[in-house]
Structure 1
Amino acid sequence: MSAYLVRQTFFIRVLPVVFAAFVLLFVAPQARAQVTEFRQAVAQAASGDPDLLSFYRERGFDGIWSTRNDRSRRNALIEAFNTAANHGLPGDRYDAEGLIAQLQAASTPQEQGRLEVAVSRQFLDYARDIQTGLLTPSRVDSAIHRQVPVRSPLSTMRAFAQSDPAAFIRALPPSAPEYTRLMAEKMRLERLIGDGGWGPTVPGRKYERGDSGAGVVALRNRLIVLGFLPRTNTQTYDDDIYGAVTRFQQAHGLAIDGTVGPGTLEQINIQPEARLQSIIVAMERERWINRPRGERHIWVNITDFTAKIIDNGVETFSTRSVVGARDRDRVTPEFSDVMEFMVINPSWYVPRSIITKEYLPQLRANPNAVRNLLITDRRGRVVDRSTADFSGYTETNFPYSMREPPSQGNALGLVKFMFPNRHNIYLHDTPAKSLFGRETRAYSHGCVRLADPFDFAYALLAKQVGNPEEVFQAHLRTGRERRVDLEAPVPVHLVYRTATVPADGNVQYRRDVYGRDARVWNALAREGVVLRAVRG
């Protein structure tokens, strides 16, 4: 072999090996030391958090944010932080610019390791907030018994590390179509506020057909900008304005009479900022219930005074309802449970609170008061009123129970629908039918009364019998208490929504009957949520 070929072979084959050996001897130890320092910093930073410590231990304390290969994760998180306010979250809580600065400034393995864990904490905070809400519902209002479906931080980290980052983060918010529609309405209102809102309010007075003048013009203009009236030059309360008012009343749960009285005028004059608050609160409430609701479920919106059956996302039955009165001990709570059975010809077992607060004072004055109720002792024996002395009993020592047997006048009517729960709340019939004609229907002791309980029962039974009306009526005719189980129990959700956006896109607003949404909004504001005005 020529000297030339020997030299070429040496340069091609031998020198790279020598150089690699040099790198291993002198460079690799330094790199290995840096990796070790990084992992040690990660372990130390995660040591106070069992979920993060478990996650990083499973990975040998390798990072998921810190290398060039992790750029897609960083970019996805920064984009999420930049758009957090679109979801009604406090934008300042998720500091994208600050995160970028920290990533750029971390130069040593120790700094990078500490930042690795800090970024994971920020990611988990964001994931929790956008999945299941900023607030703990029961801390806002003790009548909100919502079991928020909080995800495990460890499972969140594991899933994120194995997923496409952008797709994973996009899937964090509620997937319910209602949430998407609420967010679209939120952004529309923000643009509207940025462009000046809805203009002047309507002067305070009553408006009806045939009226004219400056007040009617202001009403006309307001209805146009609200989207209930096509553009017109009329200065008279004509058929077009009448139709627009009825559509407005329907969209706001008002009595539909086509006349602008005090209640309708109050709702017409509400400013977009207040409506935006309702939308943001509704989005937070959607996060609290971010789980499957059931292919068939019952949806009771307290503020709307309705109970509905939903099948595969479609409303298949609706009836008016009466809910708890505004007194603190009578409001209808918010929670979810599962309806298991109905009771036809029910007895009413009077709650202790009603016995002692309402009926005991009457019995003290007259032992024969409330004769429709049986007074029973601890063994279930009926107490003889003629020999009983109720005068010495108080709320704390009254020893008896009270029950109303089945009858047409029973407080529960002729059927009740049971989803056993610790709140002793259920849906039922009522003999007090006149209340269903009122605009605001908050009169009960907390349970939900139905205007059409028989039809509600038929709709539920139709899934398990071919002739639901005949089956129900046969039980009813006996006059005796009968339990009918639902072969497929149905989830029940008692919710409180002052803003909803149905599939047709026409936003519906309701009054904050218990003031709960005001409390939710105040709590969100304390967390840093703000109203935005976006200029077009």
Structure 2
Amino acid sequence: MLPLTRSGIVRYICAISALLITFSAGAGTARAEVTAFKQAVAEAAALDRDLAEFYRESGYAPIWTDETPQHLARRKALFAALDNVSSHGLPSARYNEDGLAQMLRDVRSPRDLGRVEVALSEAFLAYARDVQTGLLTPSKIDDGIKREVPLRDRKSYLTAFVQSTPGAFMRSLPPQNPEYARLMKAKLKLEYQLAHGGWGATVPGTKLEPGDSGTAVVALRNRLVAMGYMSRSATRSYDAAMTQAVQKFQAAHGLETDGVAGGGTLTEINVGPEKRLESVLVAMERERWTNFERGKRHIWVNLTDFTAKIVDDNKVTFRTRSVVGANSHDRRSPEFSDEMEHMVINPTWNVPRSIAVKEYLPMMKRNPNAAGHLNLINSRGQSVSRANIDFSQYNERNFPFDIKQPPSRSNALGLVKFMFPNRYNIYLHDTPAKNLFARETRAYSHGCIRLHEPFEFAYALLAKQTDDPKGLFHKHLKTGRETQLNLEQKIPVHIIYRTALTTAKGDLEFRRDVYGRDAEIWNALERAGVALGGVRG
């Protein structure tokens, strides 16, 4: 018996060739053994429709367990990948690497070999899908995650694998974008921090500011040094160097960069590396969910970052602040991808039914003239006067009117909205409530995304189809009439949610889990067997 080690597995894999030669002694015996092997494959694959179909179509021929160099290369590539699953934040027990090695050691007959053949394919399929498109199903975690994961046909993995160079194929499975690679490096760094004691003691108190001194300031200094925001120092006072370090920390965590360690900043400073590692593992899973072509030009809205960006050839060419849905169940902004088709200049606000009956109907019951800037529209599309309406007879179910707000500067949508028609009725738009953009946390809307600089956003979009984007936009704006302006090329829009993200330089940043979704994802990953590396036992 070979020991259960990587080198032992490889030697045993090679030894399968000798075993197969032994099985092949004599024509009649060989035929019987081939039949036994195929029967075992058919039986073992029967409960998996994709595997059963793949092997049936190939006449139950092996792809792993023959004596050829190609089969040896496939086995080595699979075991190398399974030996490295933890680097992707996946649960190693799920793929039963040691169990597969034991099955290989225990092969004594063609039927044993047939069962090993299918077991290797099962592990391969589980790993391939998990590392390429994620371990979890997003919609089962939170109903606000509408993300449609780009699942590949399971049988196609096997078909492509047998036609490829095994090692290169396995390396091609994880997301190939730079963000995923940087998150993998960040994961290793955080695991190292955990294995070496973390970032030290937390910082006491509720507020520290320039000029302060004492033990709390020393704790703050030590924490900032350990996290890499400050060079080593013996200072016991909140000096200029510490102020600058706090500002760097704040910028990397989406906080107001005032250099004062107030309550919000201290809360984030005191988050331990284990929690940050959880966020990175969640971000890696989310990257696998969005492992598809995002578009040479696309719009990237990170809900936790309260920003909307235009990305061209992997470079951010426009960025503006945003306001997202408030943190209540019926107002949180959903996560999904679609394509922007047009913008509407001087838009009419068609008040969503839920807002009309839950917010405006109670107001009009109390005072029929409330919200007088809104028009009531009957089923024939006619504007009706409130004078003869008894609002008390209506409720959420029988309210018979639509509510609209005509174009104006005070319109709830502002002066422009950007449309990517979707079942969730979510879009990007202007707003007259400009004061909200000055706030650190900007979750106030009913779900749609409000933009701080909507005109500039429109100019950037139109610049690809006209030499005078500003002139074209304002030509329609000054009419005061609702106008649809089509984009000549549809632009992918990705509304995403990342609490851990990296910069192009590789720096790791974090944002607050505003809706608690990442906490739910981590809990699901943990239930699936994902564990934190580097934790001292």
Q: Which TM-score applies when normalising by structure 1?
A: 0.94
Cα distance in 1, alignment partners of residues 456 and 244 from structure 2:
31
Aligned ranges for residues 192-231 of structure 1 at < 5 Å? 192-231=193-232
Shift of 1:268: 0.6
- Percent same amino acid at aligned positions? 58
Tell me the equivalent position of 2:524. 523
Tell me the equivalent position of 2:66. 67
Aligned ranges for residues 39-438 of structure 1 at < 5 Å? 39-69=38-68, 70-438=71-439
Q: Partner amino acid for 1:493?
A: H
Cα distance in 1, alignment partners of residues 264 and 458 from structure 2:
34
Tell me the equivalent position of 2:17. none
Q: Does the CA contact (< 8 Å) of 1:55 and 1:154 recur in 2?
A: yes
CA deviations on 1:58-99 (whole Å, 9 max, x unpaired) are 322111111222121111111111110111111221222221
Cα distance in 1, alignment partners of residues 192 and 49 from structure 2:
44
Cα distance in 2, alignment partners of residues 228 and 220 from structure 1:
9
Of 428-437 and 163-172, deviating more is 163-172
Secondary structure of the corresponding residue to residue 246 of structure 2: helix
Of 480-489 and 78-87, deviating more is 78-87
After superposition, the Cα gap between the structure-2 partners of 1:466 and 1:36, relative to the gap in structure 1 and judged at 3 Å, is: same
Secondary structure of the corresponding residue to residue 320 of structure 2: strand
Shift of 1:185: 0.4
After superposition, the Cα gap between the structure-2 partners of 1:242 and 1:57, relative to the gap in structure 1 and judged at 3 Å, is: same
Are residue 34 (structure 1) and residue 28 (structure 2) matched? no
Shift of 1:240: 0.8
Q: Partner amino acid for 1:42?
A: V
Tell me the equivalent position of 1:17. none
Q: Does the CA contact (< 8 Å) of 2:96 and 2:123 recur in 1?
A: no
Secondary structure of the corresponding residue to residue 26 of structure 2: helix
Secondary structure of the corresponding residue to residue 310 of structure 2: strand
Of 345-354 and 32-41, deviating more is 32-41
Cα distance in 2, alignment partners of residues 428 and 239 from structure 1:
41
Tell me the equivalent position of 1:492. 493
Secondary structure of the corresponding residue to residue 399 of structure 2: coil
Cα distance in 2, alignment partners of residues 123 and 221 from structure 1:
46
CA deviations on 1:138-185 (whole Å, 9 max, x unpaired) are 110001000001110111110011111111111111111101100110
Q: Does the CA contact (< 8 Å) of 1:194 and 1:534 recur in 2?
A: yes
After superposition, the Cα gap between the structure-2 partners of 1:429 and 1:26, relative to the gap in structure 1 and judged at 3 Å, is: closer
CA deviations on 1:186-222 (whole Å, 9 max, x unpaired) are 0111111001110111112311111111111111111
Q: Partner amino acid for 2:316?
A: E
Cα distance in 1, alignment partners of residues 347 and 333 from structure 2:
21
Q: Does the CA contact (< 8 Å) of 1:84 and 1:94 recur in 2?
A: no
After superposition, the Cα gap between the structure-2 partners of 1:498 and 1:95, relative to the gap in structure 1 and judged at 3 Å, is: same
Cα distance in 2, alignment partners of residues 41 and 98 from structure 1:
18
Secondary structure of the corresponding residue to residue 138 of structure 1: helix
Q: Partner amino acid for 1:326?
A: N
Shift of 1:137: 0.4
Q: Does the CA contact (< 8 Å) of 1:144 and 1:335 recur in 2?
A: yes
Cα distance in 2, alignment partners of residues 187 and 94 from structure 1:
22
Secondary structure of the corresponding residue to residue 391 of structure 1: helix
Cα distance in 1, alignment partners of residues 53 and 378 from structure 2:
57
Secondary structure of the corresponding residue to residue 250 of structure 2: helix
Across the two proteins, how many residue pairs are aligned to each other? 512
Of 472-481 and 205-214, deviating more is 205-214
Shift of 1:237: 0.9
CA deviations on 1:276-315 (whole Å, 9 max, x unpaired) are 0000000000011110100000000000000000001000
Q: Partner amino acid for 2:86?
A: A
Shift of 1:234: 1.6
Q: Partner amino acid for 1:273?
A: E
Secondary structure of the corresponding residue to residue 68 of structure 1: coil
Which runs of 5 or more residues in structure 1 are unaligned? Answer: 1-22
Shift of 1:45: 2.3
Cα distance in 2, alignment partners of residues 89 and 150 from structure 1:
17
Cα distance in 1, alignment partners of residues 283 and 383 from structure 2:
49
Q: Does the CA contact (< 8 Å) of 2:345 and 2:415 recur in 1?
A: yes
Shift of 1:534: 6.8
Cα distance in 1, alignment partners of residues 110 and 435 from structure 2:
74
Secondary structure of the corresponding residue to residue 304 of structure 1: coil
Secondary structure of the corresponding residue to residue 513 of structure 1: coil
Are residue 448 (structure 1) and residue 410 (structure 2) matched? no
Q: Does the CA contact (< 8 Å) of 1:307 and 1:318 recur in 2?
A: yes
Cα distance in 2, alignment partners of residues 359 and 317 from structure 1:
36
Of 42-51 and 334-343, deviating more is 42-51
Which runs of 5 or more residues in structure 2 are unaligned? Answer: 1-21
Secondary structure of the corresponding residue to residue 310 of structure 1: strand
Please tell me the root mean square deviation across aligned C-alpha atoms, in Å: 1.4
Cα distance in 2, alignment partners of residues 236 and 477 from structure 1:
57
Tell me the equivalent position of 2:11. none
Of 273-282 and 196-205, deviating more is 196-205
Of 50-59 and 377-386, deviating more is 50-59
Q: Partner amino acid for 1:437?
A: A
CA deviations on 1:118-148 (whole Å, 9 max, x unpaired) are 2211110111111111111011000100000
Of 128-137 and 64-73, deviating more is 64-73
Secondary structure of the corresponding residue to residue 384 of structure 2: coil
After superposition, the Cα gap between the structure-2 partners of 1:309 and 1:33, relative to the gap in structure 1 and judged at 3 Å, is: same
* Structure index of larger Rg: 1
Q: Partner amino acid for 2:499?
A: T
Shift of 1:501: 1.0
Cα distance in 1, alignment partners of residues 484 and 39 from structure 2:
64
Q: Partner amino acid for 1:416?
A: K
Q: Does the CA contact (< 8 Å) of 2:499 and 2:511 recur in 1?
A: yes
